[in-house]
Structure 1
Amino acid sequence: MTELLDAVERTALLTAALRAAETRREDRIYEDPFAGDLCGEIGDELLAEVRAATFPTQGPRTLPSTPDYNAIRTRYFDDYLQQAAREPGMNQIVVAPAGMDSRAYRLDWHRHTRYFEVDRPAVLAYKQSRLAGVAPRVDHRTAAVDLTSPDWEEGLLAVGYDPGLPSTWLLEGLLYYIPEADGHRILERVAAFSAPDSRIAADVVNAAALTLPTMRGLLDVFAGWGCPWVFGTDEPESLFDRYGFSVRAIQPGESGADFGRWPDPVPPRDETNVRRVFFVDGRRR
């Protein structure tokens, strides 16, 4: 079924391959026992290309370590979602896009939690085929919709999402792949579909990460696959504030987003012309 996935959708297989590789490490910071089945051969091939670009045989590494970044991101959002689900009244988790996320299957959840996965039909169909016979550990619901479509909200409503109740949204591995205008529209619509005190989390890159010569090796890999990075922001707090979310933004390697794994210096926020990635999380006012 992988032939039905487009270029952006196949990046979910890369993420699964990274999670499978992390699970095999003795010093792993989480375990994903389903990632190996989810990534398939294509995920391993994509990861091999990323490794070759990131860790050149000649010369020092200039690119960020994708394996360490992905491990930290996964663990950070694992912890974030589970903390959110323990809040009184926080019974709706929405992962959009879901990709090859297996948190519904590998983590423990509060018995009142409804776990919604939103992604394109081909992604969810592939994932279901790979996890056939595996029971989720939560009230698990899927909405087969594209977040750039004009009516994706209807798909969530149809599977039981209640916009009148608080919810927690995770936009993981999304915003840098879509044009800026689409990113703004998605945040605007998520905000309109979220009750006050709802929570949100996402990862974003800064503008320099899209243009720096030292990033070219990794950017060329993604562009070659047909899914270039096209959006970054130097002020993620302002981006989310525009749509009613009060958020903090931290970088991998900072306190709470390290887990002993970030290998590079963390540039101060006032330093210019450096690559950055941010983990953003906060609440709907």
Structure 2
Amino acid sequence: MTTTSLNPVERTALLTAALRSAETLREDRLYSDPYAERLVGDIGPKLLAEVRAATFPADRPRSLPSTPDYNAIRTRFFDDYLQRAAADRQMTQIVLAPAGMDSRAYRLPWPEHIRYFEVDRPAVLAFKSERLDGVSPRVDHRTVAVDLTAADWEQRLIAAGYDPSLPSTWLLEGLLYYIPGADTHRMLDRVAALMAPGSRIAADIVNSAALTLPHMRGLLDVFEGWGCPWVYGDDEPEQLFAGHGFDVRAVQPGEPEADFGRWPDAVPDREIKDVRRVFFVTGRRATGAGRS
């Protein structure tokens, strides 16, 4: 398969692969992804070049967040989170939705009790399978080729072996800013309905100012030009997730647990308004809010 089989949103997964490939080549890398280079396709480097040109302009100081540093921190942060969750013997299921060009199933060690699900559109999973031909996952690995807007994706996930009565850990990485607010609420409701008590969730999300501040236009215009604009942000992610039965906390890149010595910018206090933010959200299905 070629990258022409992927639509604009699907192609952003190639940008992530290109960023992870570049990070792997750094001496001070936060992780190593030996499969990222296979997954960048023919346009991944071009997408990364556009983002770099917008982020690091030759004629003026950087005013946008550093996408390479952000992506490196995000990947490492969620690597660590998923590995901690998997270490709990009561946690038997991990779900990546969407999975994109992620290679955690192949590059990280996983306990034998884990069943690992990747949910994404058929074209994405087909491209990824072809690129990783001959590489064996290091976990009981199940793919679910379905669009997350489909009416039956939950049933497709269950048919692949997911058990809603058992604890699970879900990662919604690189998703929520691409879908409208109403779809975000529906997504969180649908995920929550599949979670047993003791289940965990993780996600990344931007704030509303990140979509409107003038100095963010350079990056926003790149994604809009690709046909996949950022359309949703939330200033209070804890409240957003609480409204769907989750007890979470949100940290920003550059805060002690989400820095790894790489975030180049100051981290403004949460009380300060009209500044761009990105949040890493982690938490659990709230007590008493289990699946009905």
* TM-score between the two structures when normalised by the length of structure 2: 0.97
Structural mapping, 1:123-162, within 5 Å = 123-162=124-163
Which whole-Å CA distance do the structure 2 matches of 1:88 and 1:159 have between them? 21
Which whole-Å CA distance do the structure 1 matches of 2:277 and 2:96 have between them? 23
Deviation at 1:52, TM superposition (A): 0.3
Deviations 1:142-167 (A, max 9, x none): 00111111111011011100000000
SS at structure 1 position matched to 2:43: helix
Deviations 1:120-142 (A, max 9, x none): 00000000000000000000000
SS at structure 2 position matched to 1:41: coil
- Alpha carbons 2:3, 2:42 under 8 Å: kept: no
Amino acid aligned to 2:253: P
Deviation at 1:205, TM superposition (A): 0.1
| Identical counterparts, % of pairs | 74
Deviation at 1:41, TM superposition (A): 2.2
Structural mapping, 1:133-282, within 5 Å = 133-282=134-283
Which whole-Å CA distance do the structure 1 matches of 2:19 and 2:41 have between them? 12
Deviation at 1:196, TM superposition (A): 1.3
Deviations 1:33-74 (A, max 9, x none): 000110122100000000000000001000000000000000
Which whole-Å CA distance do the structure 2 matches of 1:149 and 1:40 have between them? 26
Amino acid aligned to 1:85: A
Which whole-Å CA distance do the structure 2 matches of 1:40 and 1:152 have between them? 27
1:6 aligns with 2:7: yes
- Alpha carbons 2:16, 2:101 under 8 Å: kept: yes
Which whole-Å CA distance do the structure 2 matches of 1:218 and 1:268 have between them? 23
Deviation at 1:4, TM superposition (A): 1.0
Amino acid aligned to 1:116: F
Amino acid aligned to 2:66: S
Deviation at 1:88, TM superposition (A): 2.4
Which whole-Å CA distance do the structure 1 matches of 2:273 and 2:228 have between them? 26
Please say which of residues 34-43 and 14-23 is displaced more in the overlay.
34-43
Deviations 1:73-113 (A, max 9, x none): 00000000000001121010000000000000000000110
Runs of 4+ in 1 over 2 A off after TM superposition: none
Q: In structure 2, what is the equivalent of residue 19 of structure 1?
A: 20
Amino acid aligned to 1:32: D
1:79 aligns with 2:80: yes
Amino acid aligned to 2:269: P
Which whole-Å CA distance do the structure 1 matches of 2:107 and 2:217 have between them? 35
Which whole-Å CA distance do the structure 2 matches of 1:228 and 1:133 have between them? 35
Deviation at 1:197, TM superposition (A): 1.4
**Structure 2: which 5+ residue stretches go unaligned?**
287-292
Q: In structure 2, what is the equivalent of residue 105 of structure 1?
A: 106
Which whole-Å CA distance do the structure 1 matches of 2:151 and 2:185 have between them? 14
- Alpha carbons 2:64, 2:216 under 8 Å: kept: yes
**Structure 1: which 5+ residue stretches go unaligned?**
none
* TM-score between the two structures when normalised by the length of structure 1: 0.99
- Alpha carbons 2:200, 2:282 under 8 Å: kept: yes
Amino acid aligned to 1:182: D
- Computed over aligned residues only, the root mean square deviation of the Cα atoms, in angstroms, reads 0.5
Aligned residues: 285
Which whole-Å CA distance do the structure 2 matches of 1:47 and 1:56 have between them? 14
- Alpha carbons 2:172, 2:203 under 8 Å: kept: yes
- Alpha carbons 2:89, 2:113 under 8 Å: kept: no
Amino acid aligned to 1:185: R
